[in-house]
Amino acid sequence: MNLVMAIQLGADDFIPKPFRIEVVLAKIQALLRRTYSFGARQSLVRYADVSLNPCDGKVWREDAFIELTRNESRILQILMEARGGAVTRESIIKSLWEDESFIDDNTLTVNVARLRKKLEQLGLPSFIKTRKGVGYFVRAEL
């Protein structure tokens, strides 16, 4: 009954007493493997003449680069991987924040505004566009 109740209340796992330390360590290692991809380097994400390194949050265009915050980098990665297709606000929120119930709708708007301002430094003042009632997309023509 404790196992069922714990899972229903949001637990990811349950270890009943008495437990073996080897089992606990194995479960922790498995969780870390799923959460952090150790040793797996993400490749650059490219769209037109813009390149993003998701590992360090740097964006390049020609010989100039800027550094982004984790959320800004993730937003840009999602949009660039959509290859010009619109991405809904809801799907971006779910990708950035696992539980959107505590996220104000304005939070994404602020993050996108900061990202747009940083992209202006690379000569990309309107790289991210808004499609009313749909979401955001990166523009196909540069």
pLDDT digits (tens, 9 = 90+) for 59-118: 999 889 999 999 999 999 999 999 889 999 999 988 888 766 667 778 999 999 999 999
Whole-model pTM over 0.75:
no
DSSP 111: H
pLDDT confidence of 142, banded at 50, 70, 90?
A: low
**96 in Cβ contact with 71 (< 8 Å):** yes
The CB density around residue 11, as the number of other CB atoms within 10 Å, is 11
pLDDT confidence of 6, banded at 50, 70, 90?
A: confident
- Give the pLDDT mean for 21-38: 81
Which residue segments constitute the domains of the chain, with CATH numbers given? 2-35 (no CATH), 45-138 (1.10.10.10)
